[in-house]
Amino acid sequence: MNKKIFKLLLFVMLSFISFGVKAEEYTFRVKVVNDGANLRVGTGSNTEKIDSLDEFDYYEMVNNTLYKDTNNNKNCSKGWYNIIYYTGKTGYVCADDVEVVTSFAKDTATPTNSCEKELQAAGFPASYWGGLCRLKELHKTWNFQAVNTNLEWAYAVEKESGCGKNFVSASIYDKTFLDSSCKLTSPGNYVAPSQKGVAYYMDPRNFFTEKYIFQFLDQSYDATLKSIYPETVLSIIAPTKFYEMHKDKGIVDIIAKITSASPIAMASRIRNELGNGTSLINLWSGTYEGYEGFYNFYNWGVGDNCVRDYGTTICGLSTAKEYNWNSIETAIINGADTIAALYISVGQYTNYFQKFNLVPTTISKRFTHQYMTNLPGPMSESKIAYSTYAKNNLLDISLNFKIPVFSKMDTPIVNSSNGAIQSEANGLGTIDIATIITSSGYSYSNGYLLGVKESTDVADIKEAIEAVGGSNSASIQNKDGEVVTSGIVATGYKIKIANSSASETLTIVVKGDPSGDGKINALDLLQVQKAILGTYTLEGASAYAADPSGDGKINALDLLQVQKQILGTYTIE
């Protein structure tokens, strides 16, 4: 297993403060301050090494005892702390490599210093004080705002624990973190979390570290950061093809002029929607026939039903035309205004609240209008945001973090004996079709399902889709229109994907397989070569398949990639 992935899985289990969620369990934790700190089986550098620890991660302590070094103070003069590495596994870390962070055992505690008094006045319970005060000590310009959800902790967790609402890695060590009663799964060995698992990711107190606090960063516009927006926006979009095409047209300055939302957040959103390459070039080139001069940088208005009938390009550019996004500046500024109106201004102003919609301005939308099923998503995006701010030396500017607070947070979270029940009798869930596709490990554009590899079995695609969408959510037809359940899937096959209220039919593309036999071979190489020479015409899915480089053209680079794939020296992604 990749070590970084392993570390992420371990982080999930570092501190079970949200599992029993008794405030008493929050008392002592350590934060790793030296990257690569050694975790050992005993209190000496001569004892067996268990693993290396990542900087900034937190671990729960077995107790607050400082143990003497048993190797004559060699390499660790201060002594050792005993920490919980993951369930059932403990180890010792040198006190030189960590800092102890304490929180009060009861939320009725009396503040003892100015930071704690300030946090209490702001509405934070005592169990928040230790972590937030430590961050405040490190970053005095950071501001923490308590957002009262007016929800009891156990109720909020229960409402977010429906079957198919979230997925988490099955590799987590503590199996009480998982819900075996929910049969829906997601590719990559992701399964339904239990209520205790949901509680972990919902509990803000688990994420009071530099790189995870950013999931609470307010995405609203901050005029005090106006001077640094251009440089920061550039660092985000510089690696993309749309930046290369539009850099001379001032795209960086245009994004930096957004005032309805944070330009940093919007730059990240644009890059996330359009990607780094050219797969959605029709939306941002301004040159598509019939829609010249129109742009859609946010992939806005590209809904399931529209894509089924017209394709991504027409849906996106029709939306641009409807909104009159007839210039790069208009598309970017007005697009941000639209997103701000539908998310940021209605209470979903952080990554956390976009995942857990707990304080919407319209109460009926609470626990809905949540943009992904990936339960650790806010934590993952927080790391990206942290890296962006760190890279641009922005960690010490004034930043505003909006952190949810619940009542009765000392209530134990107990997994129901029934677990999460899938309510739809036909096996279909309510997850939107776009999310089913992306959560299954695929993508789609212009009516095509992309991301299918050579020699993939029909059953594997069907299983991946139905693991997310439900047992009847995928049906695949061959090029003769016959429903198939086995055999190699090929370019030109059709897949119908459905949820409980809608369906969408996409044409499958296997990159590098324009011939449509599901394999990348000499026939495909010949077809790509003839297409380049102009002696053979490839259309539709075959044309998509003949462009594995994804630059929107069939050229020598595509020929080279197909050739290398056949020789086994390159893998087409």
Would you state the pLDDT for residue 57?
73
Would you state the pLDDT for residue 255?
97
Would you state the pLDDT for residue 423?
39
Q: Where are the domains of the chain?
A: 3-127, 223-349, 433-510, 522-567
Mean pLDDT of the chain: 82
- Checking DSSP bridges between strand 503-510 and strand 448-452, what pairing results, if any? parallel
For residues 66 and 440, the model is more confident at 66
Indicate whether 368 pLDDT > 90. no
| Mean of pLDDT values over 323-334 | 95
Residue with tokens 């079970």: 16
Angle at 234 between CA 403 and CA 351, to 5 degrees: 20
- DSSP-assigned letter for residue 303: -
Would you state the pLDDT for residue 388?
78
Q: What whole-number distance in Å separates Cα of residue 123 and Cα of residue 121?
A: 5
Percent of the chain with pLDDT over 90: 35
Residue-wise pLDDT tens digits, 525-543: 999 999 999 999 999 999 9
Residue 145: beta bridge partners? 402
Q: How many CA atoms are closer than 13 Å to the CA of 341, on its beta-carbon side?
A: 6
Question: Angle at which helices 328-342 and 263-274 pack, to 10 degrees?
Answer: 100
Q: Could you say which of 3.40.50.150, 2.30.30.40, 3.30.565.10, 3.90.1310.10 is the CATH number of the domain covering 3-127?
A: 2.30.30.40
Would you state the pLDDT for residue 102?
63
Would you state the pLDDT for residue 417?
47
Q: Which of 119-133, 456-470, 558-572 has the lowest mean pLDDT?
A: 456-470
Indicate whether 115 pLDDT > 80. yes
Residue-wise pLDDT tens digits, 29-58: 787 888 889 999 999 999 999 888 877 677
Q: How many CB atoms lie within 10 A of CB 272?
A: 13
Written as six digits, the tokens of 62 are 């077995």
For residues 19 and 173, the model is more confident at 173
Buried-state track 187-215, b at ≥16 Cβ within 10 A, e below 16:
beebbbbbbbbbbbbbbbbbbbbbbbbbb
133: helix, coil or strand? helix
pTM of the model: 0.56
Indicate whether 500 pLDDT > 50. yes
